[in-house]
Amino acid sequence: MVFSMTAFARGQTDVDDLVVLWEIRSVNHRFLEVQFRMPESLRVMETGLRDTLRQHLKRGKVDCTLRVERAGASGGMQLNRPLLLQLLAVLEQLRRDAPELGAPNPIELLRWPGLLGQETPLEEGALSEPVIDLFEATLAELMNHRQREGGQLRDTIEQRLVEMDRLLNDIRRHTATIASEVQGRLLQRIEELRASLDAARIEQEVALLAQRADVAEELDRLRIHIEETRSTLRGAGPHGRRLDFLTQELNREANTLGSKSILGQVSQRAVDLKVVIEQIREQVQNIE
């Protein structure tokens, strides 16, 4: 089953006079990078939540935000004045020790954990179970989103693979008579130069040129990589890194195919192949 790395999920529940809200966002990333934003009084729960998330996600940059608000509150920001005064006192001491430092940036101060939050401290014991349950439900919604988008990505890639099959068949048709094409061109050139050469030598030159222009090996390897890509899409995940490797191999063979071609039709098909491979590569970047 293919999963996308891009998704969003939101969950909300009421606990007494509190509204608990989870938002989980995930975007593309080479590895799994997780960040939690939550009230400092509930930060002790982060380790368990992080372990739960790692059991389900393998790649992606994931931002998890927990907000707990009083029901019916105006939604305005609450400033933690005692913490602010402590920060300012520390900064003042720092300025006395290092006078060259400027005044603190208010925006940077507001980013300090716990400076903006609830007017009333939250009790971790009373909120632990509902927060965890809601997180798991929101994570399940995120997984469903990633699965749906992953299915669409898989279908898109498979369509591109069918297009590659068509291009490879077209190239095979054009290269089936490569030897006669080379011979015809060589004889025409000899006629233009009005030269007389030994027939055996001509045959040797034709064979050599045909061997250099033979792209059967590249076509076979492209076919193998296409089938391996299909097999990977049907197999168990995660798929992203293997698919990324396969697209690199596909692109390498397409480059070799284009460089060896002496026929205009084959060169054009090689360019078309590279365009399709690049389209596949762009989609693969979104796959877990």
Q: Write out pLDDT tens, residues 161-196.
A: 999 999 999 988 877 766 566 666 666 666 655 555
**Last residue of a domain, which of 148, 165, 189?**
148
- pLDDT for position 283: 94
pTM of the model: 0.70
Q: Are residues 59 and 123 part of one domain?
A: yes
- pLDDT for position 81: 76
Range(s) of the domain holding residue 186: 150-284
Q: Are residues 185 and 269 part of one domain?
A: yes
- pLDDT for position 208: 56
Regions of the chain where pLDDT drops below 50: 119-120
- Is 1 a member of any domain? no
- Residues 180, 203: Cα–Cα separation, whole Å: 11
Q: Are residues 154 and 112 part of one domain?
A: no
Q: How far is CA 138 from the centre of its chain?
A: 22
Q: Answer for the pair 269, 171: CB distance below 8 angstroms, yes or no.
A: yes
Number of domains the chain contains: 2
Q: Are residues 187 and 105 part of one domain?
A: no
- pLDDT for position 117: 59
**Last residue of a domain, which of 108, 131, 148?**
148
Q: Are residues 182 and 88 part of one domain?
A: no
Q: Are residues 143 and 189 part of one domain?
A: no
Q: Are residues 77 and 180 part of one domain?
A: no
**80-87 contact pairs (CB < 8 A, 24+):** 80/114, 80/115, 80/116, 80/117, 83/112, 83/114, 83/115, 84/109, 84/115, 87/112, 87/115
Q: Give the chain as a DSSP string.
A: ---BS-EEEEEEEEETTEEEEEEEEEE--SSEEEEEE--GGGGGGHHHHHHHHHHH--SEEEEEEEEEEETT-----EE-HHHHHHHHHHHHHHHHH-TTS-PPPHHHHHTSTTSEE-SS---HHHHHHHHHHHHHHHHHHHHHHHHHHHHHHHHHHHHHHHHHHHHHHHHHHHHTTHHHHHHHHHHHHHHHHT----HHHHHHHHHHHHHHH--HHHHHHHHHHHHHHHHHHHS-S--HHHHHHHHHHHHHHHHHHHHH--SHHHHHHHHHHHHHHHHHHHHHTTB-
Q: Are residues 88 and 168 part of one domain?
A: no
- pLDDT for position 221: 92
CATH at 193: 1.20.140
Q: Are residues 132 and 29 part of one domain?
A: yes
- pLDDT for position 199: 62
Buried b (16+ CB within 10 A) or exposed e, 114-125: ebebbeeebeee
Q: Answer for the pair 286, 153: CB distance below 8 angstroms, yes or no.
A: yes
Q: Are residues 21 and 144 part of one domain?
A: yes
Bridge partners for 287 per DSSP: 4
- Is 2 a member of any domain? no
Q: Are residues 165 and 221 part of one domain?
A: yes
- Is 64 a member of any domain? yes
**Last residue of a domain, which of 148, 176, 199?**
148
